[in-house]
Amino acid sequence: MMSLYEWTLGALSSCSFRPPAICLGILLAMLVQPTSSAVTAEPAASTETWDAFYIGDSRVGYAHTTWRYLHDEGRQLIRWSSTNHLSLKRFGQSVTQTLRLASLESTDGQLIRFRSELAQGTVPVVARGQVLTDKLRLETTSAGKTETADLTWDTSWLGFAGSDQLLQRDPLKPGDVRRYSTLLPVLNQVAEVELKAVRLEATELLTGVHQLLRVESTSKVNDVTIQSVTWVDKTGQPLKSFIPTLGQYGYRTTKEQALDKTEAVSFDLGQFSTVRLQRSIPNPHRTKQIVYRVQLKDTDPSAIFVTGASQSVKAIDEQTTLVTVSSIRPADPPKLLFASIRKPTPDDLTANNLIQSDNEKIVQMARSFSSESDPWQVACKLERYVHEQVQVKNFSQAFATAAEVAASLEGDCTEHSVLLAALCRACGIPARVAMGLVYYPPENGFAYHMWNEVWIQDRWVPLDATLGLGGIGAAHLKLADSNLKGATAYSAFLPVLQVLGRIHLEIEEVQ
C-alpha cells in the first residue's frame, strides 16, 4: 500500500484559515531571502505560534509558525514560515514527516515569492516561485533536473500568509461570509475559499473551555472540495481546528506542550484508511471482472471514479455508482470505449522531476531490456524486474523519485511505480502512474495504492510492480492518473480527499 496518502495528514495539519495543502512526503523549506540587501528587520517586529495535533486520543504532531515584519524602501513586508511535524504509524510501521514552507508577502496579502523543499526521499524536490505581474514563475528541481513553468496569476490572489492577514485585519462576526482565492503550497494551485462565521459557542481547548466563533471553511481546487472548521477569538486568531475527513483536531498551545514527546503515537493511518468489505475476494489479482457498488457521503461517485479501457462507471443515484473493473491485455479484442481514451502525449514518454527516465542508472537498468521488439513483453519484464529489484518492501518511505529508488531499491507502491514508469520510458514505452484503491487481503478491504499504465497499440494497459504478475486483475479501483510532470504534478492526487473516510464498497459480482 502506498505512503502517498499519509500526506493527507500533513496536508490538512494547519490550525489556520489557509486551505490545506497536499504533501506527498516530508516537506522541508528554506526561508525566503529579502528582495534587496537594503531590507532591514525591526528586532521586535516578529511573532510566533505553536499548535498541537490530535487524532482521537493520539497526539500526532505539532505546527510552528513565525511572522517577521520587514521594511524595503518604505514598503512593509512579511517573511512568513511554517513547520508541521507529524509522527504516525502505517500498518504498524512508524512514519515521521516534517513540512516547512516560507514566503515573502506584502502586508495586504500579495505574494512576492516563496520557496518550498519537499524531502520525499533522500533527495529533496525544491520549488521556487516568484510573481511577475500576471504570472507566477515556478522552478522545480530534483536530482539535478530543473523544470520551469509559468502559471497564470491574479494580483488579487493571496499568498500563504495572506488569508490570516485578511481575517485578522477585519475579524469575522457571526453571520459573516468571506470569499477569497489563495495559493496552495506543494500543489501550486489556486483554491477558492468560502468562510462562514456560524455562531459563538463554548469550545474546549487544551487550557479549558472558551467562548469562540465557529467558522466553517470550504476550499475548492480542481473540482475537489475540502471542508474544515476553525474556532477563532475576537481578534481573528485561530485557536482550534477540525478536519472531518480525518477526525483531526489542532489546538493552539505552548512550545513546551507542542514539543512534548511523552505521549506514544497510537494512531495508525493504514488501519484508519482501509475500506473494509463484508465478503472476501479469492485470488483477487487473477480475477477477470468485478462489479463494485460504490457509495459516497454527499457526493456522486460517478463523477470521481474514472472511465477507461479497464473501468466503466454507471450511476445508480446521487450517492451510488456501479463500477465495473475488467482485466485487460493488449491482445484482448478492442472496445468502442478505446476510441475515447486519451492517447499518450510527449510528457508520457519524457523525463521529469519525479520520473527521471534519463538518469544514468535508470538508463543502464533499461538497456538490457531495450533489444526486445515487443513493447508489451518489455513492459512485463520490467514490471517483474522492479518487483524483484526493490527488495526492501516497507511502509516507512515517503515518496521517493525514480532516481532515488534506482539507487536505494526500497519502498512501497509509490517507489515501485515511479521506477517502473521511468524504465518503460527509457525503453520508449509511454508510461504513467494510476492512483486509487487495491484489495488488501490482510485487512479484507481496500487500501490506497499506486500502480502503472503503459500505452500498448491502442490502449493504456495496467501493470503493478508490487505484484509482478504481468498485468493486473480486477481488484484495482482507479481514481486518477498522471504523468507526474511539472510544478502542479501533485494535484493529480486530489481525488483521494473526496473519498478518504467517506467511501463504502460492496462486491456485486466476481468473475
pLDDT in tens, 98-117: 777 899 999 888 899 999 87
pLDDT at 34: 26
d(CA 280, CA 287): 13
Does one domain contain both 244 and 351?
no
Domain count, the chain: 2
pLDDT at 142: 77
Nearest Cα to Cα of residue 390 among 406, 402, 404: 406
Does one domain contain both 478 and 370?
yes
- DSSP strand E in 332-465: where? 392-393, 410-411, 431-440, 445-456, 459-463
Does one domain contain both 250 and 357?
no
- E strand or H helix at 240, and its extent? strand 238-243
Hey, CA dihedral for 357, 361, 365, 366, is it positive or negative?
Answer: positive
Rg over alpha carbons for the chain, rounded to the nearest Å, is 23
- Taken as a whole, the chain contains a residue count of 511
Does one domain contain both 95 and 236?
yes
Rounded (10°) CA dihedral 150, 154, 157, 158: 60
Low-confidence stretches of the chain (pLDDT < 50) are: 1-44
Nearest Cα to Cα of residue 223 among 148, 303, 327: 303
Q: Which residues contact 442 (CB under 8 A, 6 or more apart)?
A: none
What are the distances in angstroms from CA 165 to CA 80, 108, 171? 11, 7, 10
Does one domain contain both 311 and 244?
no
Return the CATH number at 430: 3.10.620.30
At 285, list the grid cell: 489479482
Residue 349: DSSP 8-state = T
Does one domain contain both 288 and 252?
no
Does one domain contain both 136 and 90?
yes
At 5, list the grid cell: 496518502
Does one domain contain both 381 and 493?
yes
Instruction: Specify if 268 maps to a domain.
Output: no
Does one domain contain both 242 and 280?
no
Q: Which residues contact 204 (CB under 8 A, 6 or more apart)?
A: none
pLDDT at 393: 66
pLDDT at 347: 95
pLDDT at 256: 93
Domain boundary among 205, 236, 263: 263
pLDDT at 119: 64
pLDDT at 79: 93
Instruction: Specify if 505 maps to a domain.
Output: yes
Which residue in this structure is represented by grid cell 493520539? Answer: 58
Domain boundary among 232, 263, 294: 263
pLDDT at 123: 67
Does one domain contain both 247 and 353?
no
pTM here is 0.84
Nearest Cα to Cα of residue 429 among 500, 365, 375: 375
Instruction: Specify if 408 maps to a domain.
Output: yes
Q: Which residues of 171-184 are buried (b: 16+ CB within 10 A; e: fewer)?
A: ebeeeeebebbbbb
Instruction: Specify if 420 maps to a domain.
Output: yes
Does one domain contain both 250 and 392?
no
Instruction: Specify if 220 maps to a domain.
Output: yes
Its domain, for residue 349, covers 275-510
Are the C-beta atoms of 372 and 381 separated by less than 8 Å? yes
d(CA 453, CA 431): 6
Does one domain contain both 18 and 94?
yes
Instruction: Specify if 269 maps to a domain.
Output: no
Nearest Cα to Cα of residue 505 among 433, 447, 441: 447
What are the backbone dihedrals phi and psi of residue 367, each rounded to the nearest 5 degrees, phi first? -60, -40
Q: Which residues contact 43 (CB under 8 A, 6 or more apart)?
A: none
Domain boundary among 207, 236, 263: 263
Nearest Cα to Cα of residue 351 among 406, 391, 305, 287: 406
